[in-house]
Chain A
Amino acid sequence: MVTTSEPAAARRWQPFAPLATAVRAATARWMRRRQGLDHPPVRLERRRIYILPTGVGMAFAGLLFLMLLAGLNYANSLALLLTFLLGAFALVVMQLCHRNLLGTEVTAVSAPPVFAHSTGAVRLSVANRSVAARWRLQASLPQGAPLAVDLPAGEELRLELPLPAPTRGVVRIERLSLATAHPCGLFRAWTWVHAPIEMLVYPRPRGSLPMPTLGGRHVGARMHLEAGTDEWSGLRPFRDGDSSRQVDWKAYAREAPLLVKEYAQESSELRLFDFAALTDPDTEARLSQLARWVVDAEAHGERYGLVLPQLQLSPDRGPEHRHRCLAALALFPDIGRR
C-alpha cells in the first residue's frame, strides 16, 4: 500500500522496513483471498474499499487532541467548539474520501506488448457514473509511482501507468491499486483490483545482418513480383522497432518530429527467418536479430515466416502475424500460446 509518491520516503531511515514488508505481503495475500479475481468491468463496492488515516490525518488528530486539552484546561468554550467542529469535519471527510472511490468503475485493464528495454504501460479505464466529480483518483502499480487523475461526473478516462520492460518475456502484475485522499488528505481510501495483467515483452529489435532474401532454408519461397517499386504512401510517427532506414531524416533535420516513411506495397517478397540459420552464440542476440527482421519485413509489407526450434510460423503478414512472430520470440524457448 505504499505509493512511493515521494522519493524522500525511500531515503528515510526505516528500522521496521522488513516487518512492514512482511505485513504488507500477508495483507496482500489476505485481500487477494478475500476479494477473489476481478474481471473488468469492476464496480468498486463497499467490501473492497479500505480506508485509513494518512500521516497528515494522524498529525491532524494530534492537533485536535492538543486543542481539546487546551479547551478543557482553560474551560474555553470556543476552543472546545472549534475542536469538536474540526473533529466532526474529519469524520465527514472520511465519509467523503470513501465516497470519492466508492462506485468507481474499472471498465478495462490491459497491457499492450512492448519491446524490451523500453517502458510499457498498463492501460486502465475508469468510469464515473455518479453525478459528482471524483477528484484525484490515484492509480498505481505495486512498484510504480501513482498517477493522479480527476474524473468528472459521468465520464470515462483511460490512464496509462508506465511499466518498465527490461527484458523480453512476460511482466506479470498481480494487482493494481486505486486510491484517493481527496478531500483534505486526512484519510486515504484505496482498493486493489486483482486483474491478472500480463505484459508481453518482445525482444529488443537489434542487429545489422541483412534480411535473408531467399536465404536460409526457404520453403516454398516465391520470387518477388515488383521489386523496388514500393509506393510511398505517407508519414507516420516513429514507433519503437522501426528501422532507422525508414526514418525521414530530412524532415527530422527540419525540426519535424521523428517520422517514418511508409510504403504501401503489395506483397512483394517472401522471407523466412530461421533461428537455426543464425550463427551468433548468444540466443538473445539471435532473437533480437529475428525481431529486427520481423519488424522491418512487416514495415515493408513483405510476407515473412519464422522458424524456431520447436515452432514454425508459415509466411504471412499483417499486425496479427507480426504479433504472433514477436510473441513467439518473446516467449522463446516456450512454445508460444499466443
Chain B
Amino acid sequence: MAQANLPADERHAVAPLIWACAAFTGGMLLNVDRVPVWAVAAALALVGWRLATAGGRGWYPGIFVRAVLALALVAVVLAKFHTLNGLAAGTTLLLLMAGLKLLETRTPRDQFVLTGVALFLLLAACLGRQDLWRVPLYALEAWLCCAALVVIACPTLGAGPAFGAGRTLRIAGRALLPAVPLALLLFAFFPRLPGAFWAIPQGEEALTGLGDSMSPGGITRLVASYDIAFRVQFAGSAPAAEERYWRGPVLHDFDGSTWRRAAGALRARQPLTYLGVPYRYRVTLEPSRRPWWFALDTPARSPDTRVLLTYDYQLLATEPVDDAISFEALSYTHTQAAAPLDPAARRQDSALPRSGNPRTRALALTLRRQASTDDAYVQAVLDYLRAGGFVYSLTPEPLGADEVDDLLFRTREGFCGHYASAFVTLMRAADIPARVVTGYLGGEWNPIGGYFVVRQSDAHAWAEVWLAERGWTRVDPTAVVAPERLQRGILDLLTDELSTSERLLRAPWLTRLWQRWDAANTWWANHVIRFDYAAQLRLLQRFGVRSPDARYLGWALMLALCAWLALVTWQIGRSRRPARRDALARSYARLCRKLARIAPPRAPCQGPLSFAAAVSAHRPDLRERVYALLERYAQLRYGPVVPATHARAVEEFRRAVVRLSLPRRSDTQPSS
C-alpha cells in the first residue's frame, strides 16, 4: 500500500480507517456470491476512493449529495430484487449503505459503525452458507473485525510496521482464543427454539436434481454434475450395489416424448407383503429446492409428518428441500402385491399416446404373441435389448419424431432414460401396466465416514412392471444393455467421455483425500449445522438430563460462565505479572509484611537498616530481633557472596522469617 511509508504519526492517523476498511472489505468478499457484481464493485470503488483520500485531502460530498445517492441506491436495489427483505437484497443494501457511510467516515465512531457493518456482513455470510471450507474464512474475518476494533480504540497501535498488523492481530487473537471454549459451551447448551419467529424468504437459485418429468435424454444433464444428492448411513448391513435403487419421482404419463408424474392422481396404496429383511438407514438430503425425499426402493412408511408416502411409494414432502434434511427410514427391496391392481391404476399405467412409434407397437405385439406369460414377455423384451446390439452412451444421437422407434431400430444407442422409456412403451403396447421410476442407483462408499455418497451423476431411470403374481416388479433395462452400470458409477463406466481433468479427479489417492474431506463435511453437517433443538435435547439426555428445565440449565450455564471467567482472569493476570522474585527478595517481602503489622509499613525509600530503626523506634521491645533479621538481610543482599554457603544462608534466613512471631502489644519489659 502506498501509505506504508508514511511517517509514524501520520500512519496512526489513518490506521484505524484502513483497518475498518479492511474488515468491511473482508465482510463484503464473504458475500460476493450472493450480492450482484456491480454492488461489490461500487463498494470496492468507495473503499478505494476513501483510502486514497485518507490523508485528509480530497473532496467529500455534502449531505445533499449523500442523501440523493442513498435514495438512488435504495431504488436500484428495489428494482433489482423487488424487495428489501431477504438475505440477498438486505446484504446488498447493507453493503451499499456502508459504502456511502465511508463518504462521511471521519471520527472513531464512524469507524466503529463500519466495523459493526463488517460483523453484520459476516453474519449474513453465516446465514447464507455454512460449508465447512468457509469456516476458516469466517474465523479470519471475525479476527480481522476484532483487530479493527483494537486499532480504532487505540490508534497508536496502528503506527507500527504494516499498520501494526502483528501486534494488533496478536492482541485480538489473545482475546479471541480464550473466548472459544465459552462459545462452544454456549453453542451446546444455550436454549434453542423449537421453531422460528418469522418465516424466511429463502434463496432463489435453481439447483441441479431430478425434476418431475423426464425426456429420455434429460438425465444426461445431471450425470455431468458431480454434486452430492444425498448421503446414506445404514444401521446394520447395506444392500448390494445392484439393489441400491433410490426411488425418486415415479412417472406415469407419456406423451410420446416426455414422461410426467400423474397429475392429481391420489390413490390408495396397493397393499403389499414385504419380503426379505428390512433395511434401516439415515438419509441426509442436500438442498434441492424440490419436494422429493429419496428412500431405498420401497419405503415401509413415511419418515416424517410433513412427508406423504404416495401410492407409488415415493416420499413427497409438503415443502421443497431448502436446507439439508436428515431423516431415518425403513425400506424393503422385495415385495409382493397382496391384492390385484386397481382398475383405474391399470388404465393409467397402460396408456400410450393414440399414435406414434408404430414399429415399436408391432414389435411388442410380435413378442407378446410368442411369449406364454407376461413374465416371459418381459424376459423376451430384455433378451431383445441384450442381443440387439444396443450401446450405452452418454452422448447418443438425437432422436427423431417417433423417439422409441428411432432408438430401437435406428440409433441403438442411449442412456438409462432412453431404455427405461422404450421398455415401458413396449410393456404398455402389450397392455401390461408399467411405469418409469427416476431416482439414483448405487452410491459411493465412504470408508472413513461409514456412509454412501449418492451424487447427481448417479441419477438413473428404470421401469416397474405389474406382474400378476408379484405385483409391481422392478426391471432395469439398462442392466441388460450395460450390466456394469449396476456395479459402478456412470463416471467409472464411461471413462472415454471424461475430460482429462475429470479423469485426474478420479485418481485413487485423490478419491481417498476427497473421502476424508467429505467425511469431515458430513460430521460438520450432522453435528454442527444441524445441531438444533432436538439434537440439544439428545445431548442433554446423554448427560442424564431427562427433562431439561430452563432454570437448571440457566444455573448450570451461569456456573460454567463464572468458572470460565475465573480461569480467564487468572490466566490474564498470570501473563502480566513480573517475573518471580528470587527467594531472598520473597523472604524479605514476607518479613516486611510481618513487621508492617506492628509498625508503620516500610516506605519505598527506606532501606533495611533505616526500616529497622523505624520499627525499633515504634517497638523498642523488639529491637534486637528486628535488627538481627534486617541486618542479616542487608548482609546477604549487599555483602560479599560466599558461593559455597550462600544458598544455605538464604534458606536459613527464610526459616527465620517464617518462625518469627511478633507479639501484638509491647506488654513485655522494654529492653534497655
Chain A residues within an 8 Å CB radius of B178 = 88, 92
Interface segment, one of B493-501, B565-573, B664-672: B565-573
With contact pairs A74-B196, A78-B138, A95-B569 given, residues A130 and B532 touching in the complex (Cβ less than 8 Å) = no
- Give 1 or 0 for each of A241-278: 1 = CB within 8 Å of chain B CB: 00000000000000000000000000000000000000
A79 touches B123 (CB 8 A): yes
Q: Which of A171-179, A183-191, A196-204 contacts the other chain?
A: A183-191
Is A238 part of the binding interface, using a Cβ–Cβ cutoff of 8 Å?
no
A88 to B575, CA, bound (A): 19
Within 8 A of A (CB), among B137-162: 138, 142, 146, 149-150, 152-154, 156-157
Distance A80 CA – B530 CA, assembled complex (angstroms): 12
Is B645 close to A, CB under 8 A? Answer: no
Q: Binary interface profile of B, 506-548, with partner A (CB < 8 Å = 1, else 0)?
A: 0000000000000000000000111111000000000000000
Q: Tell whether A183 pairs with B150 under 8 Å between CB atoms, given A69-B197, A85-B183, A88-B186.
A: yes
Verify A76–B149 contact, CB threshold 8 A.
Answer: no
B627 within 8 A of A: no
B122, CB-defined interface residue at 8 Å = yes
A75-108 at interface with B (beta carbon < 8 Å): 75-82, 84-89, 91-93, 95-96, 99, 103
Within the assembled complex, what's the spacing in Å between the Cα atoms of A96 and B172?
A: 11
Stretch with Cβ within 8 A of B (4 or more), from A14-22, A59-67, A228-236, A322-330: A59-67
Are A63 and B186 closer than 8 Å at their CB atoms? Answer: no
Q: Is the CB of B179 within 8 A of A89?
A: yes
Q: Are B171 and A183 in contact (CB under 8 A)?
A: yes
B620 contacts chain A at the CB level, 8 A cutoff: no
Interface size on B, residues (CB 8 A): 61
Whether A75 touches B192, Cβ cut-off 8 Å, given contacts A67-B123, A86-B119, A96-B175, is yes
Chain A interfacial residues counted at CB < 8 A: 50
Contact in complex: A95, B153 (CB < 8 Å): no
Name the one of B186, B197, B579 contacting A87, with C-beta atoms under 8 angstroms.
B186
**A135 — nearest CB in chain B belongs to which residue?**
B154
B120 contact set on A, CB distance < 8 A: 63
For residue B669, give the distance in angstroms from its CB to the closest CB of chain A. Answer: 36
Q: Which A95-138 residues have a C-beta within 8 angstroms of B?
A: 95-96, 99, 103, 129-132, 135-136
Known: A74-B127, A185-B108. A136 touches B528 (CB 8 A): no
Residue of B whose beta carbon sits closest to that of A75: B532
- Kindly list chain A residues whose C-beta atoms are within 8 Å of the C-beta of B171: 183
Question: Would you call A76 and B578 a contact (CB within 8 A)?
Answer: no
Is B176 close to A, CB under 8 A? yes
A positions within 8 Å CB-CB of B? 6, 8, 41, 56, 59-60, 63, 67, 69-82, 84-89, 91-93, 95-96, 99, 103, 129-132, 135-136, 148, 150, 154, 181-186
28 A–B contact pairs at CB < 8 A? A63-B120, A72-B193, A73-B193, A73-B200, A78-B126, A78-B130, A78-B529, A81-B187, A82-B123, A82-B126, A84-B182, A84-B184, A84-B187, A85-B180, A86-B142, A87-B179, A87-B182, A87-B186, A88-B183, A89-B175, A95-B572, A99-B572, A103-B576, A129-B578, A184-B146, A184-B153, A185-B108, A186-B149
Known: A8-B107, A85-B142. 19 other contacts (CB 8 A): A59-B112, A60-B116, A63-B120, A73-B193, A73-B197, A75-B533, A79-B126, A82-B138, A82-B142, A86-B119, A87-B186, A99-B573, A131-B579, A154-B578, A183-B150, A183-B175, A184-B146, A184-B149, A184-B175
